[in-house]
């Protein structure tokens, strides 16, 4: 069918604008690190981790030591550091034993991000002389690596110096701290400073009072105990005005004002609890927004935006919330509440052929379908045009003890018999393992390691998208293949409980599934991790659920977020069940609540999203409940279920 769209004429206006601007100076430079020298206190590490050495105590390396946080140096984030026995360290890279700079203080052929507290011909006195630790709170941690009692110069037998290198998370500062030991030096000529991948070295002069930008500065003098050199990077002006736009159920855009004229970019961190932050990205200079995708709906996220030069500048912090999940992404939704009607709004109702209604995982009657494994199935009724869904997520619950396998759900060319084209399916082999398959001209499958025919309820999610094939069971990723991103090209229908499996791997004894299936949902996109986790835990452990409708249309105007709603209801189901733990019976004359204080009552949205609530009063005799519920989003245009 050809779709015709109305033709609209848009008038384009070309405008020439003259803008006066100040030129930004972007780019890292060693001279932007300030230098300071003081004499303070040397505090030896206690309870630190002993670094693992390769090579000898004279010319050895301690590679890939974890810093414990992301340390920004010359515009790049590093999480590891490597130490050489000859008094230098390298951020990010390993130190090769064959490198010329391993045993001599020259940068020839060694353009590395070097930190040199005492770069010379040194030797350790023991295998465990290099230790490290990370201390402090999130955002202000300090990493320390310590060289304990090193010999300085050829032929020295006694320890001459101990020293530490400290990296500061909050400021990006680098610090060298020294302690004299009793031994004498032998032909010393050490370089002290910090270097870059371009070969530049900001080295401390012989007097230890300044740091230049050449590689010729050397020292032969033992630093006094407590002598401290600090290299502090320049900071760009903090951004301001954090705001949020393009808010959807799966993403949002963060925006800020760029107040600096010398940043090289902006660094963004994200958190879901406001405490533990994860690095997201580094933008280019002058950028003032970043779009997030793959987020969970109705969720508050916390953000940190830093200006970047050599290191991070002052942070801009704030939080924003995603919106409601978009129903338009749901192709079909079969909650099986007494029927196989489509709850997605797409009117793609299921045609029930054989299976019977039964209890679901909450022990609610007539809320799931039982398939006999002989000739039962349910087929959707709307034809999906060729090429069929090429990005989708299949999500359902099942319970079985079958040893004959069968197809749980799949896409096929027929509604009433075995399809001639069939893939995009989840099926079970005879041993109970789950297999997700698509056809690309060849059979492509991924399989769960474990079996799930244990007569327990399980949630399975199968995804095909641009990131590949993924199979989740009970919220955990069990199998994946990033190399398969397409399926077979044909028109078809979704079918539950049966379809053809000829030509596929580990074909089960029966194409018909024997067991119970519930809450079948098919999406036209990849579900994110939070949605998968929510689906797998949806009221798991609650034995009874009851739907209630909140009248929000008469108490507010427009759309409100985090709206407090006071609920006051009296219901027989809310009475205390004091006689039996069996709360499943629909004809029960006693209530469903097992706690006399109502502590086993909880509230969720219809899609399973947990809500914050506070029970003000619970009467177990009359079944009366008074509680405040925080609604993530509520609208005057419709009531909320």
Residue 306: Cβ within 10 Å count: 23
User: Is 72 found in the same domain as 216?
Assistant: yes
User: Is 344 found in the same domain as 284?
Assistant: no
User: Is 275 found in the same domain as 418?
Assistant: no
Q: Which of 189, 204, 233 is the last residue of a domain?
A: 233
Report the domain count for the chain: 4
> 418-448, pLDDT tens digit by residue?
999 999 999 999 999 999 999 999 999 999 9
Mean pLDDT of 2-12: 25
Compute CA 260 distance to the chain's CA centroid, rounded to the nearest angstrom.
Answer: 30
As a whole number of angstroms, the longest Cα–Cα distance in the chain is 96
What's the Cα-to-Cα distance from 191 to each of 144, 148, 197, 358, rounded to whole Å?
20, 19, 17, 79
599: left (phi over 0), alpha (psi -120 to 50) or beta: alpha
Structural domain contains residue 344: yes
Structural domain contains residue 21: no
Kindly report the pTM of this predicted structure. 0.50
The residue ranges of DSSP E strands in 295-376, in sequence order, are 300-308, 316-321, 330-334, 350-353, 356-358, 368-372
- For 385, phi then psi, to 5°, come to -65, 155
pLDDT-derived band of residue 106, with 50, 70 and 90 as boundaries?
A: low
Answer whether residue 497 shows pLDDT above 70: yes
> 142-186, pLDDT tens digit by residue?
999 999 999 998 778 899 999 999 999 988 999 999 999 999 998
Cβ atoms of 231 and 304 closer than 8 Å:
no
User: Is 224 found in the same domain as 76?
Assistant: yes
User: Is 369 found in the same domain as 506?
Assistant: yes
Residue 345's pLDDT is 79
Mean pLDDT of 275-284: 88
User: Is 491 found in the same domain as 349?
Assistant: yes
Choice among 540-544, 607-611, 613-617 with the minimum mean pLDDT: 540-544
Residue 586's pLDDT is 44
Q: What is the mean pLDDT of the chain?
A: 83
3 state SS for 545-587: CCCCCECCCCCCCCEEEEEEEEEEEECHHHCECCCCCCCCCCC
Query: Which of these, 30, 77, 32, 42, lies nearest to 229 by C-alpha position?
Result: 42
Residue 245's pLDDT is 87
Strands 514-523 and 330-334, by their bridges, are antiparallel
**Regarding predicted confidence, which is higher, 258 or 111?**
258
Query: Which of these, 247, 241, 256, 265, lies nearest to 301 by C-alpha position?
Result: 247
Domain that holds residue 137: 30-233
User: Is 190 found in the same domain as 74?
Assistant: yes
Cβ atoms of 185 and 126 closer than 8 Å:
no
Answer whether residue 581 shows pLDDT above 90: no
> 52-98, pLDDT tens digit by residue?
999 888 889 999 999 999 898 988 889 999 999 999 999 988 888 76
User: Is 291 found in the same domain as 436?
Assistant: no
Residue 388's pLDDT is 92
Answer whether residue 237 shows pLDDT above 50: yes
**Regarding predicted confidence, which is higher, 22 or 322?**
322
Say which DSSP state 199 is in: S
Highest-confidence segment of 102-116, 509-523, 534-548, 611-625: 509-523
User: Is 481 found in the same domain as 587?
Assistant: no
Cβ atoms of 312 and 77 closer than 8 Å:
no
What's the CATH number where 286 sits?
2.60.40.10
User: Is 282 found in the same domain as 168?
Assistant: no
User: Is 434 found in the same domain as 412?
Assistant: yes
pLDDT-derived band of residue 534, with 50, 70 and 90 as boundaries?
A: confident
Radius of gyration (Cα) for the chain, nearest Å? 33
Mean pLDDT of 314-330: 77
Answer whether residue 637 shows pLDDT above 80: no
Residue 236's pLDDT is 84
């Amino acid at each position: 069918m050809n779709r015709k769209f109305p033709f609209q004429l848009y008038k384009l206006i070309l405008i020439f604008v003259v803008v006066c601007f100040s030129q930004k100076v972007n780019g890292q430079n060693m001279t932007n690190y300030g230098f300071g020298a003081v004499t303070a206190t040397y505090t030896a590490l206690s309870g630190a981790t002993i670094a693992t050495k390769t090579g000898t105590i004279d010319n050895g390396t301690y590679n890939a030591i974890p810093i414990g946080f992301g340390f920004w140096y010359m515009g790049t984030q590093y999480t590891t550091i490597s130490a050489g026995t000859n008094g230098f360290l390298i951020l990010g890279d390993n130190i090769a034993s064959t490198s010329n700079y391993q045993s001599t203080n020259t940068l020839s052929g060694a353009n590395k991000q070097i930190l040199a507290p005492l770069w010379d011909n040194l030797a350790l006195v023991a295998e465990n002389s290099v230790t490290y630790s990370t201390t402090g709170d999130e955002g202000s941690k300090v990493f320390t690596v310590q060289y304990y009692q090193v010999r300085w110069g050829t032929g020295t037998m006694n320890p001459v110096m101990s020293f530490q290198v400290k990296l500061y998370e909050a400021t990006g500062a680098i610090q060298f701290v020294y302690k004299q030991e009793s031994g004498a030096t032998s032909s010393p000529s050490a370089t002290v400073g910090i270097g870059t991948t371009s070969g530049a070295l900001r080295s401390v002069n012989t007097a230890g009072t300044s740091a230049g930008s050449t590689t010729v500065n050397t020292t032969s003098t033992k630093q006094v105990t407590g002598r401290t050199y600090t290299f502090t990077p320049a900071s760009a002006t903090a951004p301001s005005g954090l705001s949020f736009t393009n808010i959807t159920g799966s993403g949002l855009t963060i925006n800020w004002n760029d107040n600096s004229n010398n940043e090289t970019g902006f660094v963004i961190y994200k958190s879901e609890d406001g405490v533990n932050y994860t690095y997201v990205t580094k933008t280019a200079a002058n950028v003032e927004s970043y779009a997030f995708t793959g987020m969970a709906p109705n969720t508050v996220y916390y953000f940190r935006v830093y200006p970047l030069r050599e290191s991070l500048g002052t942070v801009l912090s704030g939080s924003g919330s995603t919106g409601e999940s978009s129903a338009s992404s749901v192709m079909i939704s079969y909650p099986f509440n007494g029927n196989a009607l489509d709850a997605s709004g797409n009117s793609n109702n299921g045609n029930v052929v054989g299976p019977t209604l039964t209890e679901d995982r909450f022990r609610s009657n007539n809320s799931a379908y039982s398939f006999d494994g002989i000739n039962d199935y349910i087929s959707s009724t709307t034809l999906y045009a060729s090429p069929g869904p090429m990005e989708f997520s299949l999500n359902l619950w099942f319970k079985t003890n079958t040893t004959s396998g069968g197809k749980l759900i799949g896409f096929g060319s027929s509604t009433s018999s075995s399809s001639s084209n069939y893939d995009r399916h989840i099926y079970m082999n005879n041993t109970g393992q789950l297999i997700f398959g698509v056809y690309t001209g060849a059979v492509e499958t991924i399989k769960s390691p474990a079996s799930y025919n244990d007569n327990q309820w399980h949630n399975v999610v199968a995804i095909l998208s641009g990131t590949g094939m993924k199979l989740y069971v009970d919220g955990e990723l069990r199998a994946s293949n990033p190399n398969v991103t397409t399926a077979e090209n044909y028109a078809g229908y979704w079918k539950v409980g049966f379809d053809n499996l000829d030509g596929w791997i580990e074909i089960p004894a029966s194409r018909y599934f024997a067991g119970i299936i519930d809450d079948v949902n098919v999406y036209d996109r990849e579900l994110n991790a939070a949605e998968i986790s929510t689906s797998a835990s949806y009221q798991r452990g609650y034995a009874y659920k009851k739907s209630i409708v909140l009248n929000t249309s008469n108490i507010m105007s427009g759309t409100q977020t985090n709206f407090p709603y006071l609920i006051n209801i009296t219901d027989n189901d809310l009475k205390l069940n004091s006689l039996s733990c069996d709360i499943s019976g629909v004809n029960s004359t006693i209530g469903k609540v097992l706690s006399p204080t109502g502590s086993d009552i909880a509230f969720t949205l219809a899609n399973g999203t947990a809500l914050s609530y506070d029970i003000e009063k619970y009467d177990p005799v009359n079944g009366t409940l008074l509680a405040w519920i925080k609604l993530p989003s509520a609208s005057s245009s419709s009531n909320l279920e």
